[in-house]
Amino acid sequence: MTELPNWITPGEAATLIWYDAVQSRPDGARLYQVSGPVLERPPATKYFLLAPAEVDDFAIELYRDAVSVPRLRRFLERCVLAEGELSEDLDIVFTRAEAPSLDVLDGWQALPERPLVPYHDAFDAFLGDGPPVYVSPEAHARAQRAPEAFATASVCAECGDAADAGVFFWTRARDHRVRVCLLIENEGGRWTCRLHPFDFEGRPE
C-alpha cells in the first residue's frame, strides 16, 4: 500500500480532467495537456482526478449505468489524484503533488468514520451541511443492502439523461453504516468527484 498523502484529506472534491499528454519538469512538477471537458472558468477546488483520454469510454459506460465495481477500479487504477492548478487558458494542469487515486481511496477505508448524513425520503436526497445529494429511493435501498456497489444514484428528472446531469456513487458497508467512497456529480460532462464525503445508515436489522 502506497503511503497516504498528507496534502489531501477525506471529504475533499476533485475535478476530473481528461488528458492526452503529460510532461515532467526539472523541478518535479508535471504538466498535463487537457483534452476535456471544456471549462469556462477554473474549478473551485485545487484537486484533480487526472484520467488519460484513451480510457474515456468509461464515461459512455457510466452514463448507461453499465459500470461494475471491478470496472470502476480498473478505471481508477489509470487515474492520478493531484493537487495543482489550471493554466490561464484552462488547457494545462500543473501539478504540485500526485498520488495513485485507487490506493488513496482504498487506504482511506481504514480511517475513522465519516460524518453520518441522513437520507430524507421527502426530498430523495441526503441533507447534510453542504448542498443536497440527490439519490433515488431505489438506489438508496440497494446501497443499504449491498456489501459494495457502484451505481447511478440519480438522473436529472427534467432532462432524463445522465450525460446531461447525473449522480453516481461507490459504496461499501461498514458495520451498520455505509461509506460513500466516491461520489461523481456530472453536469454536462464536467465531473466533480467527492472523495469519501460521508457515511449513511445501513439497512435496519
What pLDDT does residue 205 have? 57
Residue whose C-alpha is closest to residue 102's, from 173, 62, 150, 32: 150
For residues 137 and 87, membership in a common domain is answered with no
For residues 196 and 120, membership in a common domain is answered with yes
For residues 174 and 104, membership in a common domain is answered with no
- Residue 58 in any domain: the answer is yes
- Alpha-carbon separation of residue 144 from 44, 71, 108, 137, 205 (angstroms): 31, 21, 20, 11, 11
What pLDDT does residue 203 have? 78
- Model pTM score: 0.94
For residues 91 and 134, membership in a common domain is answered with no
Domain that holds residue 133: 113-201
Q: Which residues of the chain have pLDDT under 50?
A: none
For residues 37 and 102, membership in a common domain is answered with yes
For residues 121 and 95, membership in a common domain is answered with no
What pLDDT does residue 113 have? 82
- Alpha-carbon separation of residue 59 from 30, 184, 189, 191 (angstroms): 25, 11, 9, 10
Residue ending a domain, among 63, 79, 108, is 108
For residues 104 and 161, membership in a common domain is answered with no
| Count of structural domains within the chain | 2
